[in-house]
Structure 1
């Protein structure tokens, strides 16, 4: 192996990635809160509705069914008005003498000076001496019954289809969010708490689905009802229709004024929800530490403070938006009273029939009801759009650099890894690694040591393309890793982290995660080599023992052994061990070191270690400080040099001697 020390700046402060604490955002994540930039209601709502575009045919069907349902419902009151006229005119006709015409009765009333009654009768269709025409009444009521039955059937079909549309839309949205999360760079997860991200992926997406489910059907029906009812009202009486029209500008003014204020509160509500979820997830993940250090009171106080903020925002949002419905009902009641009074005068004057006034009063209710519903939907719409803003913010986040097309695949798999003038920094104004060059030959074990923050883990992140380098290039078997797909690159690398990760499943499933197509014998070879086989047989169900999602039913050292076995089973050409033996007891560590030595044969290995006793047999040791390689050599050579490695080695063993 050859190596050229970079012209680094050893005095430059290093900014490594924030290590994961309880509730951090990913394997190397931090806890920074994202900057909230709320979009406007209009563009967000338009974009949300735009997601229905793939289902445009079904949407057209829903609108058609809504038109049919509303049309039949709107015709109903007019027909009931005819029924009322039949009853009322039959009662009046029965009271009139038989054998005379309606006009004769009216002329007699005018001759006697009863002009008001004459005017009222002139607006009716009377048959003096005869009572209610029950045949005609039965026919009208039968038609009304059919109208309402078919209106209900069409409404049910509309709801059924719309439910399918909404669920498919939310299904697609969840898929897009999942795809986006997998396409985001590690930098994104360094900046957002895990609970905040989970809140967007779960709570906000669910809220979008519920809001669309509850508002779209009502929105379509209410708008069509307003148009249909208004048309019938003008057909019956333009004068009364103008009175009803006063409702629309009042409704718009009230809704706009209230919605403008409540939208900000809904955005705050879901922002605080995400922050509270992040805090709860952090506290639960670090529950043991909270108990150990007796900080439960501080955790409770932080929770109460954040919960209070969420309560205030939620209460304000619901209270302010909830004012809309009562305000609409008040306006509707005023219009109702005005129509009843003026309509009564029209009946008395004979310019309208009683049935038409009754129908108009029904229409006035049908007219104000959808307006009130639109007002009541404002809080649901705003809540859903506020969640949509947060989800769209996630979907709009910058993705990691796409894989090259066409990608290059190394012709060999020897595991020769080179750094050629590599420079990298997490922050633009904070240099970390500058002009670093090295070559790791196949089969060599390269140990990377140094103080915390020296850039050891950063070096590994760059090999795996968790982060993209700023300058230079890294090659694997002569191929620039930037020209390879990430999948191809990472399939050639095995990695064991200091922080173990096991998923809910059997021990067998967790080990085979490294190579699902491995045979049973290959898996057992890996577990025997890493001493997993020894402790697995002490478990009741052996390899079929089910682990929880935190691996809580095995010890920390056993979890680490499982992750080592998983990496070995993958048969990578490059093996990366980031403090992989930190959780293993001393006796097991010696056994694992021997196993590692055998399994590292013909495989390039990078070992990050704080305990220098674990890397004595490394082919080359790199000593890093402030992002630069300050020393290189074998264990014996570096001790003889008496430099930085010598100081690190002595600091560990001198402290152990003094403690003894």
Structure 2
């Protein structure tokens, strides 16, 4: 996938409101806690506003008259009010953190659950690093909003309403004066938010590109070093890094402008109110306590506006991340099994392809009218030049991809009429590219069949010539493998993959260049093990080393998506066709 693909998909999200409400739906499981948090927010706001208002009676009734005893009592009351507000905020954030973590756990689970039912094609077309970015950076943005920003948003909105109501109650005239700068605040906030939102979205998308490129370079570091392209990949990364820097700088610039702009406008508002309030106190008898309380509220009035604008930026960044997550969740899963799909049982292993056409893209066919017939227990070898369609045929059997036309049957039953899970349980596949999971050697082999006993795991390893090298490992079968088994040789990793297939005890075996990464001596040992493994099983083998397919019951020679020759090793050599040419090329002196 091109590095710019994810950016194109997320730069201009069109359904921000819909995404927001969908994100909020994940909170529905904690309604009772949300109600408690709402009550706590109201209590904390009420305490904060009441504390500011108490300045009026404290000044008017106790400080100016010199009532020290009463002043001490009022200060105790004031302290109690503020302590109550602090306690409410503390409990509120404890509950919010609990809800936030529960929610992002649900989101991650939905994302991972969807990933497990996506078709193989999806992972072929999307950068793995970009997908990882959705699990990490995008989920983190959502977590920040759910555990902090949403409550602050509600708190700021209610605070703004409460302050405005008390300002009108104290002095309608000063409240009107306050509105001189409010339009400027909202206009400034609107302009800044609009620009900030645009760059936050671009920042998230570009971050996905950078992560995708890093993941590719980490996994391909040996190739980079072998070809001496360190300078080239550094230059490519510099371009992506600078792109991220530019987007991030602009996002942070506009986001960072909010606070100083609002503070300056708020200071201007405070000065104007102070002057007008002083004039009212001198000429209209406005009480000093009321002026002090009003000034306190006017200073606080700009804070909720500033917070609302700033929080809006955070929410926009979270929505941009949520859209990227929901893009994956909304991807079409593998087609559901047909209504009357059956579970395979007592499989004999007769496999038949009839006039099959297929292309990964509709406009370009890979398989063109392929037909083959494997009888139960037969070994079928597929040979031919790279790109002939051999691996594509193997991808058809477990329905990693569905054919365009024609039919494939197992024991006379069309694959379309078999439950996918049942179909795949009847098969085991060993690919050219090995993959081992973090865990012990035993656990990696048992991945082929989770209920396999330790004895069955060991037998599978012995069958595939893996037992001897496993016993030499520091902890034998309990040796921990990490980082795709980097502490093993390529051949040893492949042996474990073959053992994994063996322990699955499949009815149909698919081997795609399974021995290509094994040395000649190990290949002979494995071939004996594979011969035992394939006994009584229908097997399909792809191999470029023609020496490994001599004993196949039938060899199919492919070229340009079609089977051009068919027969045993001796028959095809006698025909002196394509297979004969390939064989001579490999074994000529």
TM-score, with structure 2 as normaliser: 0.96
Mark the CA change 1:182 to 1:334 in structure 2 (over 3 Å): closer, same or farther.
same
Distance 2:285 2:423 in 1: 86
Distance 1:54 1:517 in 2: 35
1:239 Cα shift? 1.4
Q: Map 1:34-73; keep pairs closer than 5 Å.
A: 34=6, 35-37=8-10, 38-40=12-14, 41-73=16-48
Unpaired runs of 5+ in structure 1? Answer: 1-24, 91-131
Q: Map 1:62-461; keep pairs closer than 5 Å.
A: 62-90=37-65, 132-461=66-395
Distance 2:105 2:422 in 1: 30
Per-residue CA distance 1:434-483 (angstroms, 9 max, x = gap)? 33332211100000111111111111111111112222332222322222
Unpaired runs of 5+ in structure 2? Answer: none
Distance 1:274 1:143 in 2: 53
Other structure's SS at 2:282 match: helix
Distance 1:249 1:488 in 2: 66
1:528 Cα shift? 1.3
Other structure's SS at 1:64 match: helix
Aligned length: 586
Q: Note if 1:568 corresponds to 2:499.
A: no
Mark the CA change 1:31 to 1:78 in structure 2 (over 3 Å): closer, same or farther.
closer
Q: Note if 1:591 corresponds to 2:528.
A: no
Matched-pair contact (CA < 8 Å) for 1:80–1:140: no
Matched-pair contact (CA < 8 Å) for 1:265–1:314: yes
Other structure's SS at 2:485 match: coil
Distance 1:155 1:236 in 2: 27
Distance 1:212 1:162 in 2: 7
Matched-pair contact (CA < 8 Å) for 2:426–2:508: yes
Distance 2:82 2:580 in 1: 91
Other structure's SS at 1:52 match: helix
Mark the CA change 1:42 to 1:244 in structure 2 (over 3 Å): closer, same or farther.
farther
Distance 2:190 2:578 in 1: 69
Mark the CA change 1:250 to 1:31 in structure 2 (over 3 Å): closer, same or farther.
closer
1:543 to 477, 489, 500: 477
Larger radius of gyration: 1
Match in the other structure for 1:642: 576
Per-residue CA distance 1:482-514 (angstroms, 9 max, x = gap)? 222222111110110000111122111111111
Distance 1:405 1:168 in 2: 36
Matched-pair contact (CA < 8 Å) for 1:69–1:152: yes
Matched-pair contact (CA < 8 Å) for 1:80–1:141: no
Distance 2:569 2:431 in 1: 23
Mark the CA change 1:246 to 1:175 in structure 2 (over 3 Å): closer, same or farther.
farther
Matched-pair contact (CA < 8 Å) for 1:211–1:383: no
Mark the CA change 1:31 to 1:363 in structure 2 (over 3 Å): closer, same or farther.
closer
Distance 2:179 2:39 in 1: 26
Distance 1:70 1:473 in 2: 69
Matched-pair contact (CA < 8 Å) for 2:337–2:418: yes
Match in the other structure for 1:108: none
1:282 Cα shift? 1.2
Matched-pair contact (CA < 8 Å) for 1:328–1:375: no
Distance 1:620 1:375 in 2: 71
Compare 565-574 and 408-417 and name the one that shifted more.
Answer: 408-417
Other structure's SS at 1:323 match: helix
- Using CA pairs below 8 Å that are at least 6 residues apart, which structure has the higher relative contact order? 1
